[in-house]
Amino acid sequence: MAKGEGRVTGRNTVSGKMLQSYIERLERLGEEKKQIGEDEKAVYAEMKASGFNPKIARLVLKRRAAKPADIEEVEAELDMYLNALGMTTEAPLFRAVGMMNVDLAAREQVIDAFKQLVPMEGEIIVKVGKQPVRLWRDAKGVAHAEDIQETAAPASGPKPSPASRPPREVPDVDEAGAFELGQAAYHANEPITSNPFAWDDKRRPQFDAGWRDASGSDGMGPDT
């Protein structure tokens, strides 16, 4: 549609009625959003009155919605950032290697020790001396290491718009099947909040139970 052109939005036209429908839908959604915000505040107020810390509750919600591997990655990066700012005395990975009684001055010994710390899904990039080294595991679980040749970062361009997420489908399974889906979700590195069942669905708690059974945790984040 060329600039300056538009739909005829007279009061009694089809376009006018369509516009009114859109506006009314947006107004209803705005009211629902406002009500949800008020309900959320009320729940946080109840938590605080019961002695719980709402700020910590918000962190728990974020952890429950995150993938297990993402939580581990963020915590590892946090450790490195704190070390870079002088808020810890030793880099966390090198601290772990040092506890293995490895000579940190011997490059090959350090790399071999780091191989033991590589997660099954993911990789570790460290500088041993002045040379960056990438460590990862192949499909058979064998750890590998390779030197990284540092290059200049490419110029940043426009980021593609994210694809719209399709609506979540409810699996046609019984409660036992929901338990198995929860186990499979954890092994697929999906968060516990990927539960596809409605809040009042009897299969929902079974999915959560399956996820916790596979993870060996309560779904609130990695055990400490």
What integer is the mean pLDDT of 28-56? 95
Confidence of residue 5 (pLDDT cuts 50, 70, 90): low
The most confident of the ranges 140-149, 157-166, 180-189 is 180-189
What integer is the mean pLDDT of 140-153? 76
Q: Is residue 151 scored above 80 in pLDDT?
A: no
Per-residue confidence (pLDDT) for residue 7, from 0 to 100: 57
Confidence of residue 159 (pLDDT cuts 50, 70, 90): low
Confidence of residue 138 (pLDDT cuts 50, 70, 90): confident
Q: Is residue 61 scored above 80 in pLDDT?
A: yes
- Domain edges within the chain: 16-61, 68-147, 172-217
Per-residue confidence (pLDDT) for residue 135, from 0 to 100: 81
Share of the chain above pLDDT 90, in %: 32
Q: Is residue 204 scored above 70 in pLDDT?
A: yes
Phi, psi for residue 207 in degrees, rounded to 5: -60, -50
The most confident of the ranges 8-22, 69-83, 175-189 is 175-189
Stronger pLDDT, 49 or 117, i.e. the higher one: 49
pTM here is 0.47
Per-residue confidence (pLDDT) for residue 224, from 0 to 100: 40
pLDDT tens string 164-200 = 555 668 899 999 999 999 999 999 988 988 899 998 8
